[in-house]
A and B are shown apart, each in its own frame.
Chain A
Amino acid sequence: MSDLARMRELSNAVGIVGVDESDEIGTLPGKSQLTLHVEAITNAARDAGIKVSEIDGVFTAGQHSPATIGEAIGVVPRYVDGTTVGGCSFIIMVGHAMVALYHGLCDVAVVCHGESGRSGVGVSPRRDTALPGQFEFPYGFGGAPTYFGLITTRHMHEYGTTLEQWAQVAVSTRKWAALNPKARNREPLTVKDVLDSRPVVWPFNILNICLVTDAGGAVILTRADRAKDCAKKPVYVRGAGEGSEHVMLTQMRNLTFSEATQRSGAKAFAMAGVKSTDFDHIMLYDAFTSGPPLMLEALGLAKRGEGVHFFAEGRSTPGGKLPINTNGGGLSYTHSGMYGIFPIIEATRQLRGECGARQVPNARMSLVNGMGGMLSAAGTLVLSNEGSR
């Protein structure tokens, strides 16, 4: 049996049956990270019509291990996964949960996130600074914008992309945020507003950079046979991929093209049996305005250097042909730090038709792609509301 045939066995084998955020998202000084996790899990379980006590697979990334989460919700999981490769970890974990569920290693999996990114309640200090501490921090590096800006400047040099084009990404995303009652920033935004906003690290002004919030999110999955009997119509995991290239930005082979994203997308598309042109809704991890265009290029949806065209030409906006980041993204909806759970939640809601004013008409197949670190790792999902096997 070929690798491809084995991967295809997994396609549509499991469904997402419950999704939700924590009770609130935003600025929450009264809630610890662990509370944000637990709120999201209980809310997602209610959404699925599944009891929390039925969860027997726990998948989480960040500062809390799956052991802590299992303990907090009072279950003894028989499958745990704490893969932490950055903000896309939750997207990758949907793929890991798919494999575990398919093989009967667990029956109800939760992928969960909670982060007090803004208020810092119940957080631990960061670790693993041996190399950045020697080779990066003495120069003023530290904090994501000081790294992603290098990728962005080089892209401008190689392809002639402009500050105005990056700003279009923020403008497009804000148009969606205006339609999402949960989004933090909803007032209209222009390219000029972005270009005139406070400089942080050129080529980024503050409006090129994601929000910093407190938020939790959770996704519950089960095998397709059981998924049919849950509270809502399931959203099937048709394909899943992952990749990891570097941690230190000096080790990225091609500074303007993410090999991890390319590999992740190719795997997800092959498993799903789809082409890059088959989607009618897209969620891309937008920590910076330059992120989504570079992801479109690495995923093969745009030629190199041309990812920005999706945003400048109105394709990505409400009413456009290929809606992108319909929740308002990390740029305008919420960004707690490891944002990857939220694009999965939004894609699921779009495929269920639950999105009200921002609903993409007849959404059938959604692409979710996220990065970890500085395009260091990647996770890709092909989600569909049609589960033929």
Chain B
Amino acid sequence: MDLERPLPTPITPECRPYWEGAREGKLMITKCRACGKPFMYPRVSCPFCASRDIGWVQASGRGRLFSFEIAHQILNKAFKVKTPVVLAMVELEEGPRLLSNLVGIAPDPKQIRCDMPVEVCFEKLTDEISLPMFRPVGGAR
């Protein structure tokens, strides 16, 4: 099968629940049971309080576009999505930030604004892998 994107690889054991959640259409994030703070990327120790008591929760999928870029060329040959593509940093309402793509809006810096509300959507790449992406809440304006 010809994929338009490089698959996430290598999927490390600590991150597997994230990808299993994504396959089911759920955005799963790690959360410290000691201090209560969610964080990403997944790791076995809390970056805020160093506790080793870490669990998983489902994020709401809502957040804000913290920053963005419009890529006119992509160096990675395995990435074949037609440019321009909107590269995004999203801040989830729970706090953690993720890198992703912003879809459902023209790749135009006049239309896209930092802090605009966004919500998660998933792009199925294979039976195993669906990729969390983000789109403007309520469509483009």
Contact A140-B76, Cβ < 8 Å, known A201-B71, A255-B67: yes
CB nearest neighbor in B for A131? B41
Q: Which chain A residues lie closer than 8 Å to B1 at the CB level?
A: none
- Asked if A139 and B75 sit within 8 Å, CB to CB, the answer is no
Contact A142-B70, Cβ < 8 Å, known A134-B10, A134-B15, A150-B87: no
Tell me whether A199 is interfacial, beta carbon within 8 Å. yes
Tell me whether B105 is interfacial, beta carbon within 8 Å. no
- Asked if B73 and A139 sit within 8 Å, CB to CB, the answer is no
Tell me whether A24 is interfacial, beta carbon within 8 Å. no
- Asked if B69 and A154 sit within 8 Å, CB to CB, the answer is no
- Asked if B101 and A153 sit within 8 Å, CB to CB, the answer is no
**A130 to B78 Cα, complex, angstroms:** 17
- Asked if B99 and A139 sit within 8 Å, CB to CB, the answer is yes
CB nearest neighbor in A for B123? A138
Interchain nearest-CB distance for B129 vs A (Å): 8
- Asked if B11 and A134 sit within 8 Å, CB to CB, the answer is yes
CB nearest neighbor in A for B79? A140
- Asked if B71 and A140 sit within 8 Å, CB to CB, the answer is yes
Interchain nearest-CB distance for B80 vs A (Å): 10
Tell me whether A146 is interfacial, beta carbon within 8 Å. yes
The 8 Å CB contact of A146, one of B8, B41, B69, B81, is B69
- Asked if A140 and B72 sit within 8 Å, CB to CB, the answer is no
- Asked if B109 and A141 sit within 8 Å, CB to CB, the answer is no
**A150 to B78 Cα, complex, angstroms:** 22
Q: Which chain A residues lie closer than 8 Å to B121 at the CB level?
A: none
- Asked if A250 and B12 sit within 8 Å, CB to CB, the answer is no
**A143 to B69 Cα, complex, angstroms:** 13
Interchain nearest-CB distance for B56 vs A (Å): 16
**A149 to B8 Cα, complex, angstroms:** 22
- Chain A interface, >50% SS class: helix
- Asked if A140 and B10 sit within 8 Å, CB to CB, the answer is no
**A255 to B40 Cα, complex, angstroms:** 16
Tell me whether A133 is interfacial, beta carbon within 8 Å. yes
Q: Which chain A residues lie closer than 8 Å to B131 at the CB level?
A: 138-139
- Asked if B8 and A150 sit within 8 Å, CB to CB, the answer is no
- Asked if B72 and A202 sit within 8 Å, CB to CB, the answer is yes
- Asked if A146 and B96 sit within 8 Å, CB to CB, the answer is no
Encoded as 1 (CB less than 8 Å from any B CB) or 0, chain A from 188 to 202 comes to: 000000000001111
Q: Which chain B residues lie closer than 8 Å to A150 at the CB level?
A: 67-69, 87, 89
Tell me whether A9 is interfacial, beta carbon within 8 Å. no
- Asked if B87 and A149 sit within 8 Å, CB to CB, the answer is yes
Contact A154-B67, Cβ < 8 Å, known A138-B7, A142-B76, A201-B72: yes
The 8 Å CB contact of A134, one of B8, B66, B70, is B8
Interchain nearest-CB distance for B102 vs A (Å): 10
Contact A134-B71, Cβ < 8 Å, known A140-B79, A249-B89: no
Encoded as 1 (CB less than 8 Å from any A CB) or 0, chain B from 46 to 75 comes to: 010000000000000000001111111111
Tell me whether B6 is interfacial, beta carbon within 8 Å. yes
- Asked if B96 and A250 sit within 8 Å, CB to CB, the answer is yes
- Asked if B96 and A139 sit within 8 Å, CB to CB, the answer is no
Interchain nearest-CB distance for B24 vs A (Å): 17
- Centre residue among B69, B73, B101 by max chain A CB count within 10 A: B69
**A138 to B122 Cα, complex, angstroms:** 13
- Asked if A248 and B41 sit within 8 Å, CB to CB, the answer is yes
Tell me whether A6 is interfacial, beta carbon within 8 Å. no
Tell me whether A54 is interfacial, beta carbon within 8 Å. no
Contact A249-B99, Cβ < 8 Å, known A134-B11, A135-B8, A199-B72: yes
**A151 to B67 Cα, complex, angstroms:** 8
Q: Which chain B residues lie closer than 8 Å to A249 at the CB level?
A: 89, 99
Interchain nearest-CB distance for A197 vs B (Å): 12
Q: Which chain B residues lie closer than 8 Å to A354 at the CB level?
A: none
**A141 to B99 Cα, complex, angstroms:** 8
- Asked if A250 and B99 sit within 8 Å, CB to CB, the answer is yes
**A203 to B114 Cα, complex, angstroms:** 13
CB nearest neighbor in B for A153? B67
Contact A141-B10, Cβ < 8 Å, known A153-B68, A202-B70, A255-B67: no
Q: List 15 A-B contacts (CB under 8 A).
A: A134-B9, A134-B12, A135-B41, A138-B7, A139-B99, A139-B100, A139-B101, A140-B81, A146-B87, A151-B67, A199-B72, A201-B69, A201-B70, A202-B109, A255-B67
Q: What 10 A-B pairs are tightest by C-beta distance, nearest first?
A: A149-B69, A157-B114, A202-B70, A154-B67, A134-B8, A250-B97, A150-B67, A143-B75, A199-B72, A140-B74
- 14 more contacts with CB within 8 A, not counting A135-B41, A250-B99, are A137-B8, A137-B76, A139-B87, A139-B101, A140-B76, A141-B99, A142-B76, A142-B79, A153-B67, A153-B114, A157-B115, A200-B73, A201-B70, A250-B98
